[in-house]
Amino acid sequence: MPVPVPAAGQVRIATEAIGVGGVDAVIRRGTLAAYGFREGHLLGSEVAGRVTAVGEGVDASWIGRRVWAFTGLSGGYAEQAVASVEDVLVLPDGLTCADAVTLGGSGVVAHFALDRGRFTPGETVLVRGAAGSIGITAVQLAARAGAGAVAVTTSSVERGARLRDLGATHVLDRSGEDGPDAPAGFDVVIDVVGGPRLPLFLDRLNSNGRYVAVGVVGGQPPADFGMRLMDGFRKSLSFTTFSSDTLPGPDRQAVRSSQFAEAAHGDLRTVVHQVLPLDEAVPAHREMDAGRVFGRIVLVP
């Protein structure tokens, strides 16, 4: 690839860490083809490293700063990446580039998903697909905010134990089966998975429960899943999708900045599954497809 030239309003970053997000696998599988992701798209949407050049209108003082950046559609699996300066954040001392690309995009989703779910302390929360970066942060945020219970779905006992260590109180399998002590219903469900089983989890909402769909790692839900909401009409259920794309940029950056500070102080944990060289992006995706990743894989050039 040619070295990218930052356009007006952009910076160029020499990458030191590149996040391999669940979204990259979803794009690669074609689940999001309808959103314009086509073959040939350079994957990767979050990087951290040092600014090496600025485009027109960007203050030259950015050059040399250690930053996290959302690269959007311009491609992050690269030694040099460009990003709009509004989507760039200076890293605090004490936060590694690998930690930054594990938390930067997903932490914001976790924070605002709980917010959109109108979560309040004491309520019960289920995080479906909790073993990824979004879920790992959502579990920690719900637990420390005083949730009555934080249940998770995951695929093994060992992964469940790791999630308990991060704040989960109840561990369910992927179909929602659990031990006898799990809450019968949940006030808020944060769903990273979607897919054919989504209606089963709509059934787990308490009266006035809120379901927040933030991802589709299990594919799209059945076309008629809305009928489940209508069947539960008398429970006054809510279902919403949530994408951080709809947030005002400054809101995203404010939450990200405080989460970075918390992570640098050890108050918010990031889980880096594995660090691999950039030219092992393909094995990284195979690892994700095999379901072996807990947290996030990070590529380094």
Ligand X SMILES: NC(=O)c1ccc[n+]([C@@H]2O[C@H](COP(=O)([O-])OP(=O)(O)OC[C@H]3O[C@@H](n4cnc5c(N)ncnc54)[C@H](OP(=O)(O)O)[C@@H]3O)[C@@H](O)[C@H]2O)c1
Residue closer to ligand X by CB (options 106, 259) is: 106
CA distances (Å), origin 8, targets 46, 48, 58, 74, 276: 20, 20, 7, 14, 32
Q: Report the site for ligand X in 47-76 (rule: CB under 6 A).
A: none
Residues 101-130 as x/- pattern, contact with ligand X by CB under 6 A: ----xx--x-------------------x-
- Number of Cα atoms under 13 Å in the Cβ half of residue 285: 14
Residue closer to ligand X by CB (options 91, 172) is: 172
Residue closer to ligand X by CB (options 78, 192) is: 192
Question: In angstroms, what is the minimal distance from the CB of 157 to ligand X?
Answer: 11
Q: Which window, 82-90, 154-162, 260-268, 274-282, contacts ligand X (CB under 6 A)? A: 154-162
Return the H-helix or E-strand segment holding 299: strand 296-300
Q: Report the site for ligand X in 193-252 (rule: CB under 6 A).
A: 193, 195, 214-218, 242-244
Tell which residue, 243, 257, 301, 241, has the closest CA to residue 276: 301
Query: Counting contacts by CB under 6 A, is residue 132 touching ligand X?
Result: yes
Question: In angstroms, what is the minimal distance from the CB of 56 to ligand X?
Answer: 29
Tokens of 130: 């909790």
Question: In angstroms, what is the minimal distance from the CB of 53 to ligand X?
Answer: 27
Q: Residue 46's beta-bridge partner residues?
A: 70
Residue closer to ligand X by CB (options 41, 159) is: 159
Question: In angstroms, what is the minimal distance from the CB of 216 to ligand X?
Answer: 5
Question: In angstroms, what is the minimal distance from the CB of 26 to ligand X?
Answer: 5
Residue closer to ligand X by CB (options 209, 218) is: 218
Residues 20-49 as x/- pattern, contact with ligand X by CB under 6 A: -xxx-xx-----------------------
- Number of Cα atoms under 13 Å in the Cβ half of residue 222: 13
What is the maximum span of the chain, computed from C-alpha positions, in angstroms? 61
Residue closer to ligand X by CB (options 159, 235) is: 159
d(CA 230, CA 264): 45
Answer for the pair 50, 75: CB distance below 8 angstroms, yes or no: no
Answer for the pair 137, 106: CB distance below 8 angstroms, yes or no: yes
Question: In angstroms, what is the minimal distance from the CB of 242 to ligand X?
Answer: 5
Q: How many chain residues are in contact with ligand X, going by CB under 6 A?
A: 31
Residue closer to ligand X by CB (options 72, 183) is: 72
Tell which residue, 196, 195, 213, 206, has the closest CA to residue 232: 206
Residue closer to ligand X by CB (options 68, 242) is: 242
Interface residue with ligand X, options 15, 84, 96, 154 (CB under 6 A):
154
Tokens of 215: 């991802």
d(CA 75, CA 82): 8
- Number of Cα atoms under 13 Å in the Cβ half of residue 55: 16
Pairing mode of beta strands 66-70, 124-128: unpaired
Q: Residue 47's beta-bridge partner residues?
A: 18, 69
Binding residues (CB under 6 A) for ligand X: these are 21-23, 25-26, 105-106, 109, 129, 131-135, 154-155, 159, 174, 192-193, 195, 214-218, 242-244, 291, 293
